Amino acid sequence: MSFKIVLLAPDVDESWPQKIRQAVPGAAAKAFRDPNDALVDIEDADAAYGTVPPELFARAKKLRWICAARAGLGGDWFYDALVKSDVVVTNMRGSYNEHLSAHAVAFLLAFARRFEHYLPQKQWKRGPEMIDLPTQTVLIVGVGGAGSEAATLCAALGMKVLGADPRVTNPPTGVAELFTPDRLGERIGEADFVIVTTPETPETRGMFDSRLFSKMKRGSYFINISRGGCVVTEDLIAALRSGQLAGAGLDVVAPEPLPPDSPLWTMPNVLITPHVAISGAPYRQKWEEILLENCRRFANNEPLLNVVDKEKWY
């Protein structure tokens, strides 16, 4: 079956329209740097790549599939008309699991080796002892792609790994115990380190608040590489100030960019990177592979890869 797809993302590879036509003979593919230029073409398009704004979506009469140009979408990406429609949404999850997991474990190792203390002091002076990781427990919230990779790395360091996930039913490699998020409050106190890799969903938005931080082991560490919206920033700051948390490693925050006057910038026990965990990942090639494979599947009426639950945003 031939179909028409409009490519709306500003960073679309110039070779993709031709590659789509090669992968699906008879397919029509056209790229637009500005979605406003696609007002006419969207009307009879069967599929779209990128973000389809509400005003463009309203003009689409035949649209059946949107391939989002990223992995984590979040609530701001969805709107009522899209959620209530029959249009299938897919994403690019799984494109940078290795980089996300490595970033999370880099934070963990930095705290275990006391880098937050020793690197800034710029003098030959001994301070706190190192943390013996084989005696430590790490809880990974979200053991899908990146979380599963992080579990493998932490287990290789000798740590006991706990996992919480609403969908994964079989413990990934390295995970000693797996449970559902509804048990997070009763189990989180067992962890010396908590790594958050879960996507932002209606259930996880603001999940880490004063209530959950109070249930964590006093003196534990908090690491977030998922979405800043999963954390109530003011409550995180309070937990750090009170000593409930010994430190935090943050690649994502709310809001982004983090304001210059945020207390997080001046806290010596906080390590911050500006949402760069996927930097360096060869994700463009993986995105192309996922897009082309889903184009083939769409043309053949086969199940698509990475289908998103629109009501849960992932």
Residues in the chain, how many?
314
Q: What is the pairing mode between strands 160-164 and 137-141?
A: parallel
Sheet holding 4-7, edge to edge: 28-31, 4-7, 47-49, 65-67, 88-90
Termini Cα distance of the chain: 28
Angstrom distance (rounded) from CA 207 to CA 203: 7
3 state SS of 81: helix
Is 99 an active-site residue? no
* DSSP 3-state of 198: coil
Q: Which of 186, 256, 289, 302 is catalytic?
A: 256
Q: How many CB atoms lie within 10 A of CB 88?
A: 18
Residues 6 and 32: beta-carbon distance below 8 Å: yes
Token duo for residue 75: 């609530």
Question: Rounded to the nearest 5°, which phi and psi values hold at 5?
Answer: -125, 135
98 is an active site residue: no
d(CA 70, CA 50): 8
CA distance 266 to 60: 49
List, in order, residues 6 or more apart from 122 with CB less than 8 Å away.
none
For 32, the token pair is 């637009």
Instruction: Indicate if 284 belongs to the active site.
Output: no
The catalytic position among 187, 275, 296, 297 is: 275
Amino acid in the structure at residue 39 = L
Q: CB count, 10 Å around CB of 131? A: 17
For residue 182 the two structure tokens come to: 């509804």
> Token pair of 168, please?
């994964």
Positions annotated as catalytic residues are 227, 256, 275
